[in-house]
Amino acid sequence: MSIPVQSPPATPETPPSTSQVEILALFERPLLELVFEAAQVHRAHHDPREVQRSQLLSIKTGGCSEDCGYCSQSAHFKTPVEREKLLGVDEVLAAAAAAKEGGSGRFCMGAAWREVKDGPEFERVLDMVRGVRELGMETCVTLGMLNESQAERLREAGLDYYNHNLDTGRSHYDEVVTTHSYDERLNTLANVRGAGLAVCAGGILGLGESRAQRAELIAELASLDPQPESVPINNLVPIEGTPIGGEQGTVDWSEMVRTVAAARIAMPKSRVRLSAGRRELGEEAQALCFLAGANSIFTGDELLTTPNPSEDVDAALFEKLGLYGTRR
């Protein structure tokens, strides 16, 4: 008798990790139950009235070689954003001084680069970091991918945080970007951590991802060891001319609240930043996000290329909610 030969199973999809399953279970809970649990975790690790404030500046705008499907600065899409060269150090330091005056404790400088290249422009960014440090502010940059020695040089210049987002779940990444990989993002985060810098890593909602892929993103961030000190959660700001901005729009406010809550429970000690998209969220949804554990925001009228609530609007909201802004 011949033994029937079994054909191998069809290539399985990567099974979800245990933590992804656990985090997805959080997303599936009744919203207010989830918010209550997240608020308890938040209170166990943080002063719930305190919200840290950072301010952004785009130091090099547009013309980026990458094709991130949501981004106003990609050279692949015709968007309203005009290209600008790398700013001068004096202009950046003037903006940082104004941000400090406005109550921000951290100044975050963003460049529309695929990666850092050694040379005069990187030297200029190092001078910006030194200058912002001398103003007594915390420093953060987001410059795309970087290698170990560049991370080391940034740390020596006085950099505190490096921002590099995973943006979405691994299984959705190729739908969003084709010019670099998820593993390249993780490799940069490893170089940042290896140089002793603090890690700022988060993502965006509204890229056409499923709820399971949102849970995948939070699980991936929470699995970084140590966990990121800072976790920005952005709601997509739809940009005219981009492939994602046109079609899919932003997610419902309740999904933003769920994601903040899941991030708070999975990363209890991190600062969870309610980042891009606050204008569209409105006061009530922001209030729920703060209750669910968001404890950091970007301040100032502009993010990188899009508007953000002005300082007086935020001050009125904080007053109403009994929150206070902190620099650290």
**Among 193, 273, 278, 289, which one carries the catalytic annotation?**
273
Nearest C-alpha neighbor of 280 from the set 247, 245, 307: 307
Q: Is position 295 an interface residue for ligand SAM (rule: CB under 6 A)?
A: no
Amino acid making up residue 142: T
Q: Is position 74 an interface residue for ligand SF4 (rule: CB under 6 A)?
A: yes
68 is an active site residue: yes
Question: Which of 73, 79, 191, 235 touches ligand SF4 by CB under 6 A?
Answer: 73
Q: Is position 144 an interface residue for ligand SAM (rule: CB under 6 A)?
A: yes
Q: Is position 71 an interface residue for ligand SF4 (rule: CB under 6 A)?
A: yes
Q: Is position 54 an interface residue for ligand SAM (rule: CB under 6 A)?
A: no
Q: Is the dihedral of CA 155, 234, 299, 97 positive or negative?
A: positive
- Between 126 and 236, CB nearer to ligand DTB: 236
- The one of ligand SF4, ligand DTB, ligand SAM, none whose footprint includes residue 236, by CB under 5 to 8 A per kind, is ligand SAM
Q: What is the total count of residues that contact ligand DTB (CB under 6 A)?
A: 16
289 is an active site residue: no
Whether 87 and 98 have beta carbons less than 8 Å apart is answered as no
Identify which range of 20-28, 45-53, 96-104, 229-237 contacts ligand DTB by CB under 6 A: 229-237
From residue 258 to residue 287, the character string flagging contacts with ligand DTB as x (rule: CB under 6 A) and all else as - is -----------------xx-----------
Q: Is position 165 an interface residue for ligand DTB (rule: CB under 6 A)?
A: yes
Q: What is the 3-state secondary structure (H, E, C) of the chain?
A: CCCCCCCCCCCCCCCCCHHHHHHHHHHCCCHHHHHHHHHHHHHHHCCCCEEEEEEEEEEEECCECCCCCCCCCECCCCCCCCCECCCCHHHHHHHHHHHHHCCCCEEEEEECCCECCCCHHHHHHHHHHHHHHHCCCEEEEECCECCHHHHHHHHHHCCCEEECCCECCHHHHHHHCCCCCHHHHHHHHHHHHHCCCEEECCEEECCCCCHHHHHHHHHHHHCCCCCCCEEEEEECCCCCCCHHHHHCCCCCHHHHHHHHHHHHHHCCCCEEEECCCHHHHHHHHHHHHHHCCEEEEEECCECCCCECCCHHHHHHHHHHHCCEEECC
CB of 141 to ligand SAM, least distance (A): 9
Token pair of 313 as six digits: 């609007």
- Between 39 and 69, CB nearer to ligand DTB: 69
64 is an active site residue: yes
Question: Which of 26, 64, 189, 281 touches ligand SF4 by CB under 6 A?
Answer: 64
Question: Which of 202, 206, 208, 245 touches ligand DTB by CB under 6 A?
Answer: 202
Q: Is position 110 an interface residue for ligand DTB (rule: CB under 6 A)?
A: yes
Footprint (CB under 6 A) of ligand SAM, residues 75-104: none
Q: Which active-site residues does the annotation give?
A: 64, 68, 71, 108, 140, 200, 273
Contacting positions for ligand SAM (CB under 6 A): 70-71, 73, 110, 112-113, 142, 144, 164-165, 167, 204, 234, 236-237, 239, 276, 304
Contacting positions for ligand SF4 (CB under 6 A): 64, 66, 68, 71, 73-74, 112, 114, 144
